[in-house]
Amino acid sequence: MKNYTTLADIEDLESLIREARGLKSKNTESELGKGKTLGMLFFNPSLRTRLSTEKAAKLLGMDVMVMNADKDGWALEFEDGAVMNSDKAEHIKEAAAVLSQYCDIIAVRAFPGLKDREKDESEQVMNSFKKYASVPVVNLESATGHPLQALTDAITIQEINKKERPKVVLTWAPHPKALPQSVPNSFTEMMQNLDVEFMITNPRGYDLNANIRKNVRVEHDQEQAFRDADFVYVKNWSSYDEYGKVLDVERDWTVDQEKLQQTDNAKVMHCLPVRRNMVIADDVLDSESSIVIQQANNRTFAAQAVLKRILECLK
Ligand code: CP
187-240 per-position pLDDT tens digit:
999 999 999 999 999 999 999 999 999 999 999 999 999 999 999 999 999 999
- Cα gap 190→244, rounded to integer Å: 23
**pLDDT tops 80 at residue 249:** no
Instruction: Write phi, then psi, for 138 (nearest 5 degrees).
Output: -120, 140
Output 114 or 248, whichever has higher pLDDT. Answer: 114
Q: Is the CB of 271 under 6 A from ligand 1?
A: yes
Give the model's pLDDT for residue 2: 97
Please, what are the domains in the chain?
7-145+298-314 (3.40.50.1370), 147-295 (3.40.50.1370)
User: Do 135 and 103 meet the contact criterion of CB atoms below 8 Å apart?
Assistant: yes
Instruction: Write phi, then psi, for 48 (nearest 5 degrees).
Output: -65, -50
Considering the chain, what percentage of its residues have pLDDT values greater than 90? 97
- Cα gap 171→201, rounded to integer Å: 5
Q: Tell me the CA distances in angstroms from 13 to 24, 141, 219, 230, one per residue in order.
A: 17, 19, 28, 22
Ligand 1 centre distance from Cα of residue 298 (Å): 12
User: Do 185 and 213 meet the contact criterion of CB atoms below 8 Å apart?
Assistant: no
Give the model's pLDDT for residue 136: 98
State the chain's mean pLDDT as an integer.
Answer: 97
Give the model's pLDDT for residue 254: 97
**pLDDT tops 90 at residue 307:** yes
User: Do 219 and 33 meet the contact criterion of CB atoms below 8 Å apart?
Assistant: no
CA dihedral 136, 138, 143, 144 (to 10 degrees): 100
> pLDDT tens, 131-141?
999 999 999 99
**Mean pLDDT to the nearest integer, 160-187:** 98
**pLDDT tops 90 at residue 155:** yes
**pLDDT tops 80 at residue 85:** yes
Strand stretches in the chain, DSSP E: 37-42, 63-67, 76-77, 90-91, 105-109, 137-139, 167-172, 197-201, 217-219, 231-235, 267-269
CA geometry: angle at 215 spanning 213 and 216, to 5°?
60
Give the model's pLDDT for residue 28: 81
- Helix H segments across 103-249? 117-121, 124-132, 147-160, 182-191, 210-213, 222-226
User: Do 193 and 155 meet the contact criterion of CB atoms below 8 Å apart?
Assistant: no
Residue nearest to atom 1 of ligand 1 (CA): 271
Q: Measured from the CA of 296, which atom of ligand 1 is nearest?
A: 1
pLDDT band (50, 70, 90) for residue 251: confident
Give the model's pLDDT for residue 122: 98
227, 241, 235, 269: which is closest to 254 by C-alpha? 235
Ligand 1 centre distance from Cα of residue 292 (Å): 12
User: Do 65 and 37 meet the contact criterion of CB atoms below 8 Å apart?
Assistant: yes
Considering the chain, what percentage of its residues have pLDDT values greater than 70? 100
Give the model's pLDDT for residue 108: 98
Give the model's pLDDT for residue 248: 74
Residue to probe by mutation, ligand 1, list 44, 48, 138, 175, most atoms within 8 Å of CB: 48
Pairing status of strand 90-91 against strand 217-219: unpaired
Question: Concatenated DSSP letters for 85-120?
Answer: -SS--EEHHHHHHHHHHH-SEEEEE----SS-HHHH
242, 219, 233, 248: which is closest to 289 by C-alpha? 233
Q: Is the CB of 149 under 6 A from ligand 1?
A: yes
Give the model's pLDDT for residue 29: 86
**123: alpha, beta or left? (left if phi > 0; alpha if psi -120 to 50):** left
Instruction: Write phi, then psi, for 39 (nearest 5 degrees).
Output: -105, 125
Classify 254 as helix, strand or coil. coil
